[in-house]
Amino acid sequence: MHDGETMSDGATMHDKAIEGDARAEAGAASTDDGAHRTGPDGHVRRDRTAVESEPEQAALPAVAEPGLSDAEIERLVAQGRTNAVETPTSRSIWQILRSHVCTLFNAIILVAMIMVLTTGSWRDAVFGLVIIINTAIGVVTELRAKITLDRLSILVSSKPMVRRGGRDLAIGHDDIVLGDLLWVRAGDQVPADGKVLHTWGLELDESMLTGESATVVKREGDTVLSGATTVSGMALVRVEAVGKHGYAAKLTAEAKVYKASVSDLKSGINTILKTMTVIVVPLCFALIWSQIHTVGGWQVALSTGAWRQAVIAAVAGVVGMIPEGLVLLTSLNFAIAAMRLARHKTLVQELESVETLARVDCLNLDKTGTITDGRIAMNGIEFLDGSDRKGGDGAVLSALYDLANEENPNGTGRAVLAYLGDRDVMPGDVAGRIPFSSARKWSAVARDTGETWYLGAPEVLMSAMGPASTTGSDEAGTEASHASYDGKDVADQVARHADQGERVLMVARCPADRSQGEAQDERTPDAPGGQQSAAGQDATMGEASMSMPSAARPVALVLCAEHIRDDASHTLAWFREQGVRCRVISGDNPVTVGAIARKVGLTGEREPRTMDARELPEDIDRLAEVLDRVDVLGRVLPKQKQSIVKALHQGDHVVAMTGDGVNDTLAIKEADLGIAMGNAAPAAKAVAQIILVDSQFSHLPDVVARGRQVMANMERVASLFLVKTIYSMLISIGVVLTAMPFPYLPRHITYIGALTIGMPAFLLALGPSSRRYIPGFLRRVVAFAIPGGAAIGLATLLNSWMLPPIMHWNLDHAADLTLLRSTNAVLIFVLAMLVLARVSRPLRSWRGLLVVVFAVAGVVGVCIPPVARFFAVIVPSGSMLVTTMVVLVLALAVYAVCRVAALPWSGRVSHDRRHRRD
């Protein structure tokens, strides 16, 4: 029989005589316009010869409802009752610009730059370029992420089909209005909430909304929700909620408000900036007052214009106290990490999220789309002991192939076909077919020999079978008994496989003598017979009263499961080694989820502890206690996912949440780090900080490792910058208190800073490191920086106060002042190199070579006359060399004293050799 034909409701596949009459009855009952046929079973069968030539709406069945009129549509549009809703996939350009421009750091530098510009010396305001560079790096990086994300969010699905004024029309998603009659077809994503008016076997995948991977059968009167995907069948739906009133839109609305990433690194830097702001403002005025007095007072300064140099000197001291290079390097390091991750198909929406990666100690995983890829895979077939397998195992496999080989097989059918195709199983001759239906939960095919094969849910097939027995034989005597089986034993086998997370289907067989016998019992008295279908052609029969013969017996179990990603076990093992606690949170059955968690080794050798989320307490504190003892949660609702993240926060955990559905958006938003898959719902991608563009779970270790590298290395270089801040502040205070000329020139600090902080810090920030980040960034950095900064500041001040009287220098003379400043420059350079060496430990690596290279570069540089003249450095010689050496010895002594004095309270510093792991 052809696919476009149907059989009568009372027919059975087992009687060839009934088939001809049934086909005639179906033909009379069907509506045939040459392009499609609607049979008495309600299923629409398209004529294959007309698919290419007829328009798309020819595939839609005829219905009585005309739909909305043009006047009604105009009225609803005027009232704003359309499906248009603002669904931003990322921050707007204005939000991005505002977040990167309006920062405390930019404000401080901008004010300082304006002060210098008022003096007319624009060359000394070049430091303000750091604002432009720093802002540009952040804006450009996030704009690139925005562009990529917006491209990912473009839907390529077909336009919704609605019925209006008696016609079927394709319209835009936003053009749907309240009350529209909407066609929901296989492969479509439901664009608006509605109620089913007519259904033709509609099955929906609501995993994006509920987290449950099982499909849901919809009947007349049932509600369909926007965001669900049509797996099979078709339905006519009346739209009952549009736009922001839809289910998916309401769920997403709570997650739409932008939430900035909490950056421990940037919080620490901002704390430093705030503290420095309190100190810098009064110190700036004090420096101006001090420097004006060094030139003879306000009257002289104003009459001669010397106030300009006083302002510039004061601002130079202030800018030296601000770790502007650290802010720039932080943004640059985040940007480099984001670009490196982009090469691995990982999109970073916010630069700060790179740092959050390093702090994660709890990772909540969504099963579907993360551990599994959403596909169904057939794991094998288990032949039942004592089952009736006439023709051997090959006959069973061939029948299974034909059972799965429907016109539009579902995911399970495709998995079976792939498994058998790899094993060269060939199809057989199909005389008749009952396609699979979720309502019936089985399918069947008939052979020309009269036997019938069934495939379906074990509990459904076994409930239709008669009691186990040993009776009957065929004419050839090859079947001494018919399908003696132990129902309890088969049920136990099914349960055992289900407990292992497998989806179990049963293959059953009904012999020809049995199937035809029962078929005769089911005939109506006036049913004519004698007609047969053409060999090898499918007979598609009506479903309304299709029944399975009680004589059928099980022959095999088909074992399927969600396809686990090949890299899932390795990825989870990496997280365990790194001390990250992983939990699986799913809307599926906890037994199934627990079995999958066991297969991928979620908890290593330990058995994962599972729990039904319906038993979770609502109190956050009690929930936090329960979560410490649970590894796998099933039947989790969207609100519960959010509560789980909140409960983990109660325990001071840094939580990362992966997800791909609308049901995950609240939890992703609540988590410290939201991670969405590239094929996730646009709402999920809009609130996530990290997007795995190709949806590969295996990228996560590299993502976390990159974050740890950034934090560990930034902790190193932050110490370098903070040392400069501390000694600049101490020297400025000393200058104010003694009204002495500034002990060095800004260009000296430029030279020293480039060789001991700027360039080394950039290289150190790019070095490898896999150490897990430990909270307390600011405390450790300050504890490290204070001894070094205090030593350099005190040594410079002591040298500036004590050396001139000893050397009989008059600082009012430019030559003597130049000698003092050169000596101080050498002193600061040597001590800064010691700080760099300590930060770079262990030195038996490329870091030791880095220190040597920059130390040599500093010495060689000042030996080059043009360089020495430009930076106003005098190379010591003769008695000056001896003096410089004595000064250095005393400075080293001051450095050692400061280091020893700081030991009791300095605490643990992450880049100290004793605590390093890389």
DSSP state of 426: -
Decide if 620 contacts 626 (C-beta within 8 A).
Answer: no
What phi and psi values does residue 228 have, to the nearest 5 degrees?
-75, 155
Q: Which two tokens stand for residue 531?
A: 């007609």
Decide if 333 contacts 765 (C-beta within 8 A).
Answer: yes
Alpha helices in 63-175 (DSSP H): 70-78, 93-101, 104-117, 129-152
Decide if 347 contacts 680 (C-beta within 8 A).
Answer: no
DSSP 827-848: HHHHHHHHHHHHHT---SSHHH
Decide if 6 contacts 30 (C-beta within 8 A).
Answer: yes
Neighbours of 408 (CB within 10 A): 11
Q: What is the CA radius of gyration of the chain?
A: 38
> The tokens 């450009």 sit on which residue?
140
Decide if 434 contacts 546 (C-beta within 8 A).
Answer: yes
Please choose, from the candidates 724, 580, 577, 542, the residue with its C-alpha nearest in 3D space to the C-alpha of residue 11. 542
* 747 residue type, one letter: R
Q: Which two tokens stand for residue 633?
A: 């949660």
Beta strands in 438-588 (DSSP E): 442-446, 452-456, 503-510, 553-564, 581-585
* 703 residue type, one letter: V
Interstrand relation of 223-224 and 193-205 (parallel, antiparallel or unpaired): antiparallel
DSSP 672-706: SEEEEETTS-HHHHHH-SEEETT--GGGHHHHHHH
Enzyme catalytic residues: 366
Please choose, from the candidates 910, 444, 514, 915, the residue with its C-alpha nearest in 3D space to the C-alpha of residue 718. 910
Interstrand relation of 632-634 and 610-612 (parallel, antiparallel or unpaired): parallel
* 72 residue type, one letter: E
* 906 residue type, one letter: S
Long-range CB contacts for residues 459-462, cutoff 8 Å, separation at least 24: 459/494, 461/506, 461/508, 461/548, 461/552, 461/554, 462/487, 462/490, 462/491, 462/506, 462/554
Q: Residue 133 in 3-state DSSP?
A: helix
Q: What does the alpha-carbon distance between residue 229 and residue 307 come to, in Å, rounded to a whole number? A: 73
Q: What does the alpha-carbon distance between residue 597 and residue 639 come to, in Å, rounded to a whole number? A: 23
Q: How far apart are the first and last CA of the chain?
A: 71
Sorted by sequence, the CB contacts under 8 Å of residue 834 that are 6+ apart come out as: 788, 892, 895
Please choose, from the candidates 698, 689, 651, 697, the residue with its C-alpha nearest in 3D space to the C-alpha of residue 669. 689
Q: What does the alpha-carbon distance between residue 246 and residue 887 come to, in Å, rounded to a whole number? A: 76
Q: What does the alpha-carbon distance between residue 318 and residue 108 come to, in Å, rounded to a whole number? A: 10
Please choose, from the candidates 76, 82, 59, the residue with its C-alpha nearest in 3D space to the C-alpha of residue 183. 59
What phi and psi values does residue 732 have, to the nearest 5 degrees?
-65, -40
DSSP 725-793: HHHHHHHHHHHHHHTPPPSS-HHHHHHHHIIIIIHHHHHHHTS---PPP-S-HHHHHHHHHHHHHHHHH
